[in-house]
Structure 1
């Protein structure tokens, strides 16, 4: 409704008009006006912009049809040609469930966009980029007390991919022992309605000394995260349930979660799970070997730092000291469009979606409301 209202009035988009449109479509005005000033909402927009730049969608409108790019206000036949080709390709996915078709189609055809050229004409190597990303004073950490490698994980309890990566993070801790620590920062995706309450529940349990126990309980039951369920889990864990309920009612942990989300967006952690290994980003529910490669490199760097006299307690700060303080800027030059390239564009975050959830073809549109 707001989408349509904004396009109908795209020459009148000042704040007073936005408030007027919100009233016209019957929104909760107190919540709407608060969200207009919310850092979390701004972070979502910035994250979308960063994703668009990453896959080469620099102008508007820009569409990704099962990952294939169609740029500009093109005629219907331009879309039909790509959609028909995708429908034909999907016919071969006999054993794939409908809700997994988008991921399967993109995974099969994914080809990463060519890296932006560097000043000397070579390709930029983003795998070596280091970010000076803070662990966070209130962040819960498990693993070594003075690790050689610190992994900051941005995750949330309703995301199936976050659950899928748990065996990998366990294998990391089992393999590397006190050389590695994992810090859990929250990034509840608005698309998952129970993710924020679950994040609050984990911190409420943490206030009673059982963050990791609640963490495990929530992932074990990520399809059952209602308020009633959360209170049941608190009881199962032996928490003071009345204190737990009071903490949830007070909203005392929302500021901490919002700060985690803000930091995640600042460093390009748009979706979940997202990891920073001594400041180096690894995205998604990747296999153990994808982490091992980076961890082993970072252990060597840490050992070299110790040999120079840096104490173990200062390794993370030393190795990230010269890191970037925000996500790397997108290339200024737009990559050339390639009709045969399939881009791996996530759709599980805060996107507003219309159409069937199990559609055979998914079109992601990058757009804006002032573009004629």
Structure 2
């Protein structure tokens, strides 16, 4: 399966924006497998940040993860204040504490404007952004989290496999 839509300026991107190697993760902030993949992906980006453009898209599995969607909305609300990746990382690094109160605590720790944050997490625009990411995942053939795409094609493997593939290609 291929990635639909392709990576655009509406996506959350880190690393080298001009890199030929583009990795997209569809993730759920409460998913234990995404939580396990997170440190591997952080490691990958610290080693290969000049060679990789890394994109994160929301894919909250709300039926099984009660706080996945609130966490996705919190990350999107932090994005409006220029702190998407800080919130993304803080959620994964404290995944076991995840609930609505904890998301507010993170907003305070990241020195966000908390009243704006509270308004934004309930906004229709952010709801639509998270739903749009989720729908793009469905169109792209995502059937679980994390799901990875490399240069627009579904990658059949986990974060460790991804790290190994990047290492081999960087050689």
Q: What TM-score do the two structures reach when normalised by structure 1?
A: 0.43
Q: State the Cα distance separating 1:299 from its structure 2 match.
A: 6.6
1:244-255 pair list within 5 angstroms = 244-255=117-128
Which residue among 41, 45, 55 is the counterpart of 1:169?
41
1:138-217 pair list within 5 angstroms = 138-190=10-62, 191-217=64-90
Q: After the TM superposition, which segments of 4 or more aligned residues of structure 1 sit over 6 Å from their partners?
A: 296-300
Q: Which runs of 5+ in 2 are unaligned?
A: none
Which residue among 155, 162, 165 is the counterpart of 1:291?
162
User: Alignment partner of 1:270: what SS?
Assistant: coil
> In structure 2, do the counterparts of structure 1 residues 238 and 262 end up closer, same or farther at CA, with 3 Å as the change threshold?
same
The answer to whether the 8 Å contact 1:149/1:299 transfers is no
User: Alignment partner of 1:152: what SS?
Assistant: strand
Alignment partners' CA distance in 2, 1:160 and 1:174: 22
Alignment partners' CA distance in 1, 2:159 and 2:109: 32
1:133-178 CA-partner distances (Å, limit 9, x unpaired):
5114321111012112010110011001101111221222222231
Alignment partners' CA distance in 1, 2:25 and 2:130: 13
Residue 146 of structure 2 corresponds to residue 273 of structure 1: yes
The answer to whether the 8 Å contact 2:24/2:54 transfers is yes
Q: State the Cα distance separating 1:284 from its structure 2 match.
A: 5.5
What do you get for the CA RMSD once the two structures are aligned?
Answer: 2.2
The answer to whether the 8 Å contact 1:158/1:194 transfers is yes
Alignment partners' CA distance in 2, 1:284 and 1:201: 28
Q: State the Cα distance separating 1:131 from its structure 2 match.
A: 4.7
The answer to whether the 8 Å contact 1:272/1:284 transfers is no
Alignment partners' CA distance in 2, 1:276 and 1:210: 24
The answer to whether the 8 Å contact 1:149/1:298 transfers is no
Q: State the Cα distance separating 1:263 from its structure 2 match.
A: 0.9
| Higher helix proportion | 2
Alignment partners' CA distance in 1, 2:139 and 2:2: 14
The answer to whether the 8 Å contact 2:4/2:139 transfers is no
Q: State the Cα distance separating 1:297 from its structure 2 match.
A: 7.4
| Higher strand proportion | 2
